Amino acid sequence: MLKIKEGFKGERLISLPLFAIEKFKKDELGKELYLTNIGYFPNAEYHYCRREAANSADYILIYCVKGEGWLEYNGKKLKVAEDQFFIIPQGMSHAYGSSKGKPWFIYWIHFNGKKAGYFSKGFDIPQDMPYNSQSRFKNKIDLFEEIFSTLQSESSTEQMSYATSVFFHFLGIIKCSNSGKKESEAIKESSIIDTSLKFMRENLHKHLSLRNMAEHVNLSVSYFSRIFIAQIGTSPSKYLAQLRMEKACHYLEETEMKVNQISPLVGFDDPLYFSRLFTNYLKLSPTQYRENRNRTLFFRTTTQTAHHTMAI
């Protein structure tokens, strides 16, 4: 497949001169944050870039304003949708590129400084660009365009100071919006998982697919799975299997029902398949489990009776 690093029709690039960057880094503002490169790639079909850790000296912000792309980082390949952004930390191997058939349009900035890590924390996976109704820059693209227009004519300390201040504003918006969003999302996700667990327990007798469970809480399968694992520590399917086996144990302990009567009550039409899963899960067949349980109860009852007789 064709791979292109740059050279797209309508692209814009500004690479600040090294001498200007070094001079600005001595400025009070430049010590905290400074830009090295900024660009815009429209309709970036076949766009692809890979960097090893040794060649990743800057933090890299990419904002996808249209189309789709992907980010490969920390051993995972993640989809980047329209109006999403991410920031790659410095010193990390990574790759990213445009999606086939739906090429992305991206604004990007390479930056560094003492505050770069602070503003980048938590943004190393693609996420939605927040909207701040209080900002005079309603559209985040305006901020990029402001930086472009400031730096395209010259790279004096004054121009770089203003461009950096605009970028500070941009980072401040996404940082503050993300803090409030994380707290509200955590509460929302906890409620979603509670609803999911209740749904599972009430429908153990039904055939529940991962899609069924995700649709019940109006989420995509991938997002539902991700927040479920984060909060419960295992996948929805594994947790559902655990609930089914626990319910089966209850029936084996508390009723005289046969295995072929219990299996449909915990979501299995085939008693043999149910028995295999039960045996794999508990290392005992349903019959062995019941016999062991009865033997334990008999021993406990006999022991208690003997103690009572001796006391008399």
Q: For the whole prediction, is pTM greater than 0.85?
A: no
Largest separation between any pair of C-alpha atoms in the chain:
103
82 — phi, psi (to 5°)?
-60, 140
Alpha-carbon distances of 22 from 19, 34, 66, 245, rounded to whole Å: 5, 10, 34, 65
* pLDDT at position 5: 62
User: What separation, in Å, do the N-terminal and C-terminal C-alpha atoms of the chain show?
Assistant: 88
* pLDDT at position 184: 53
Calpha distance 275→194 (Å, rounded): 29
Query: What are the structural domain ranges in the chain?
Result: 12-180, 185-238, 248-311
Residue type at 124 in one-letter notation: D
Q: Does domain 12-180 have CATH number 2.60.120.280?
A: yes
Instruction: Please give the CATH number for the structural domain made up of 185-238.
Output: 1.10.10.60
DSSP state letter for 234 = S
pLDDT of the chain, 312 residues: tens digit per residue: 455 566 788 999 999 999 999 999 999 999 999 999 999 999 999 999 999 999 999 999 999 999 999 999 888 889 999 889 999 999 999 999 999 989 999 999 999 999 999 999 889 889 887 755 454 445 678 899 999 999 988 889 999 999 999 999 999 888 876 554 554 566 677 888 999 999 999 999 999 999 999 999 888 888 889 889 988 889 999 999 999 999 999 999 999 999 999 999 999 999 999 999 999 999 999 999 998 876 655 444 444 443 443 344
* pLDDT at position 311: 42
- The answer to whether 12-180 and 185-238 have equal CATH topology is no
Calpha distance 14→152 (Å, rounded): 7
For residue 27, give the nearest of 116, 157, 115 by alpha carbon: 157
Strand partners, 60: 88, 110
Instruction: Please give the CATH number for the structural domain made up of 248-311.
Output: 1.10.10.60
Number of H helices, E strands in the chain: 11, 10
* pLDDT at position 52: 94
Encoded tokens for 197: 């667990």
* pLDDT at position 230: 84
Tokens 């790659």 sit at which residue? 88
Calpha distance 234→230 (Å, rounded): 8
Encoded tokens for 247: 């319910």
Strand 76-80 and strand 48-51: pairing?
A: unpaired
The count of C-alpha atoms lying within 13 angstroms of the C-alpha of 45, restricted to the half-sphere facing its C-beta, is 5
- Total residues belonging to the chain: 312
Alpha-carbon distances of 20 from 30, 80, 115, rounded to whole Å: 11, 33, 19
* pLDDT at position 175: 82
* pLDDT at position 187: 63
